[in-house]
Amino acid sequence: MVDTLRADHLTPYGYEVQNTTPVLQAMVDGPGGQVYHGMLASSPWTKPSVATLFTGLDPRDHGVMRLVGKGSKLKNDHTLGAEFGRGGYTTGCVMSNFLLSKRMRSGYDRGFDFYDDTVANKKDPHRGSTAVNISNSGMEWIRKQSGVKPWMLVLHYFDPHASFEDIAEVDWVDPSYDGWVVGGATTDMLREQESSLTMADIAALHAYYDEEIFETDHQIGRVFEFLKQQGLWENTVVVFTADHGEELGERGHIGHTQTLRSELVDLPFLVRIPKDYQDAWKMPESAGGGYAMRQIYPALLTVAGLPLPEGRSLEAPDFLTTQVDYVPVRKEHIEKYVQKRSLRKDGLQYILDTRSGEELLFDLTSDPQMMTPLPSNHQGWESMRALIDEPVFWEEY
């Protein structure tokens, strides 16, 4: 899992500006490789989305949608680690996001035998590239497994989350650029400058972001090579995804949480299923097109031959949903307080701002980047509004 990773910046999804992910491209081009289009995040920020990946539940059911206080802890007893553990697996997780660290008492370590969040506890967790540390920890843990029990390992990479670092091995920023965007610009600097972004600034942001994707892809490749050297590659299912995407200035924002548009909620979902597991791998498409993030959890348990806890199912939903109810902790970030809900079905995406009442409807077939809202007389409005139910928010701000 890669934090803050947009699908549209990956080579398997047609990105041509740079070859950001040669390792992942080789994986899906090889035997058992598959590229899924239309995986929708349950929310555009880390805590609710990873809670969905770890529980197979939507935010309204797992109850996580806050940074602190009520609704900020993962309390479910049927986490991915717990269920694989009950099924006889040794389980591990290498975690790079400080919000999900043990010292935050967030509960995301529930059920894992091993939970290494060392890199998440740096003085400034936003600075520096840590992908090499994640891969090193994961490979060391695998090396220690006796082979008596099967294992399940989650590797959570923080790159390419801001700050966007300058990776020495590649230089993808236009050499003529002389603006304020530099590798490692602090998140506060990004926030201060986002209202005055130029096209050249945006291009530089995308370039640094791509460099971090490339470095993460390289470090994932080291894990793949290690598995091959250890004779484990042909008996290991590999599933690759993200928790959410990132705004890189296209709409005047840098970061995430503020919208439910494509750059934040369209996820990569790539798998490599060895021959012996292919008959057991299931990922049914939604009746309205695409895939729900909560389907990943039951797909993993099913391919391993493990039973599903109550309330989880491989059955695809009729339509996809995503929502955000984000309350910032810092008062100077009050503009990031948002409550929005979205539905996706049959090539349309409907977004409702439950605070302002603003409604937007997009045709994803002709406008996949969701740049131009459809007019009020479009025939899709009535059917999408009919699907929206009462919002679930944990407490008033």
Using a 10 angstrom Cβ sphere, with 0-12 exposed, 13-18 middle and 19 or more buried, the burial of residue 371 is exposed
**pLDDT tens for each residue of 139-170:** 999 999 988 899 999 999 999 999 999 999 99
Prior bond of 307 cis (ω within 30°): no
Phi, psi of 367 (to 5 degrees): -140, 65
Residue 383 has pLDDT above 80, yes or no: yes
* Mean pLDDT, the chain, whole residue set: 94
H/E stretch holding 341 reads strand 338-345
- Residue 341 to residue 335: CA distance in whole angstroms: 17
**pLDDT tens for each residue of 56-79:** 999 999 999 999 888 999 999 999
The pLDDT, as a whole number, for residue 397 is 37
- Residue 258 to residue 378: CA distance in whole angstroms: 26
Lowest mean pLDDT segment, chosen from 91-105, 223-237, 315-329: 315-329
Q: Which domains does the chain have, with CATH numbers?
A: 7-317 (3.40.720.10)
